[in-house]
Amino acid sequence: MPTNIRKEALKLREKGYTIDEIADILNLQRDTVVWLLMKEAEEKMKPIDVYVNWFNIYSSPRRLKMLTEMLVDLVKENVKENIDIVCGIGDKSLPLALEVSSKLDAKMALLSIRSKEGKTLEAIIDPGYAQLEKKQNIILVEDIVRTGAYLQAAFETLRKYEANILAIVVPISKLGRKTFAGVPVLSLIDLIPL
C-alpha cells in the first residue's frame, strides 16, 4: 500500500471526515482505514485489503465508456425487467451511473451517503437528479462495494419508496458473495481474500 495513503487518511481525519467517509474517498475497507489511523500500528495487525485507483478510468471519457459497456452488458444479461431508474450510490459513482443510465435509456438518481450522528450512515436522495416514486424498478450502481454499509443505507432509503431493486451493478466487489439482501450483485471483478 502506498505510504501516501496513510498521510491522506490522516489529512482527511484532520478535516473532520468519519472513518466511513475516509473509506469511501480512498476506496478502502473500513478496517484498513482504522489501521491507517492508528498511531502505532503493528505490521502483523495489518488488514488484508486492496487499494483501487480509478484515475486512469475516470480521467478518460473513452475508457469510462468502455467500462460502462461491460457493466451494461452484465445488466442486459441478468436483468429482464424494465428499468425505471439507475441510482448511483455515493458521489464517486456519479460518472458510472450517468453513463449506465444513458446506455439503458433510464432516468438517473443519486443517493448521497452521509454520516448520521457519526455512528451510522444514511442515504439522501440528491435533489439535482431524478426523484424517486413509489414501486419503481431500480438498479443500483456503485464504483466499488466494500463492506456493504453504503448498500445497507441505500436499501433503508429505498424501502420507503417500496422500490423493486433489480440488481447492484459494480466494477469491483469486495463483498465475497453474489447477493446482498437477496439482490444480485453484478460485478466485473470480485476481490476475495484467501
**134-152 b/e with 16+ CB inside 10 Å = b?**
eebebbbbbbbbbebbbbe
Cell of 11: 489529512
Count of C-beta atoms within a 10 Å radius of residue 189? 11
Tell me the C-alpha to C-alpha distance, in Å, between residue 181 and each of 35, 75, 158: 28, 18, 13
pTM over 0.85: no
Question: For all residues of the chain together, what is the average pLDDT?
Answer: 89
Residue 1: what pLDDT? 45
pLDDT in tens, 125-160: 999 999 999 999 999 999 999 889 899 999 999 999
* Cα 108 from Cα 101, distance rounded (Å): 6
Q: Which residues contact 174 (CB under 8 A, 6 or more apart)?
A: 29, 50, 144, 145, 146, 147, 190, 191, 192
Evaluate whether 100 touches 156 at the Cβ level (below 8 Å): no
User: What is the C-alpha to C-alpha distance for residues 149 and 191, in angstroms, rounded to an integer?
Assistant: 17
For residue 193, what pLDDT band results from cuts at 50, 70 and 90?
low
